[in-house]
Amino acid sequence: MENQQFPYYPQTQGQPNTQNQSNTQNQPNTQNQPPASTALPPLQAPVGQRKTNRGLLKFLLLGLITFGIYDIVVMTESTNTVNLIADRYDGKKTMHYCLMFFLVGWITAGIAWFVWWHRISNRIGDELERRGHARNLSASDYWLWNVLGSLIIIGPFIYMYKFLHAMNELAEDYNQRG
């Protein structure tokens, strides 16, 4: 039987066949063939699916009902999702939301919050852009809507809507393409 080449494992030229010729006449040559379990298609959806059901109304209402616990859970899951999706491409790691919420934000008198939101907003926007989507979120959205927009009261709500929508779009793309 003739030795077949697979696109994942190209056969190298000039390697001598180290198998005994008398034993291989009736058996197929599997020296350069991959095991059946490793021949995967080039694009494969990830094993674990990320949540894509974040919404502003749900975020606000369940946050009020649970006295903010739901908001912490959603933001923690969002941080984990961003780290999972973007880490292999940008090499960065966003600080866990619970660590920021319960410790670092208080120690730095709130200054770390500005830095954390600035960085995660930019990171989400960069990853959306890298994946070919419109850049729906950036650090300028944080500063304009969340910080300056708080003067008109509705600004932080608009920012949170943009944040949750961008996270849904990023997670949906990850669920489809990995």
Question: Tens digits of per-residue pLDDT, 85-97?
Answer: 998 898 899 999 9
For 116-160, the pLDDT digits (tens) are 999 999 999 999 999 999 999 999 999 999 999 999 999 999 999
Average per-residue pLDDT for the chain: 81
Counting other chains too, the contacts that 14-21 makes at CB distance below 8 Å and 24 or more residues apart are none
In this prediction, residue 6 carries a pLDDT of 37
Q: Determine the Cα–Cα distance for residues 77 and 49; give it in Å rounded to an integer.
A: 12
State CA 170 to chain mean position distance: 7
- Read off the pLDDT band of 19 (50, 70, 90): very low
Q: Determine the Cα–Cα distance for residues 59 and 66; give it in Å rounded to an integer.
A: 10
pTM higher than 0.85: no
More confident call, 72 vs 176: 72
- Of all residues in the chain, what percent carry a pLDDT higher than 70? 74
Residue 68, pLDDT above cutoff 50: yes
Residue 28, pLDDT above cutoff 70: no
- 19-28, 48-57, 71-80: which is most confident: 71-80
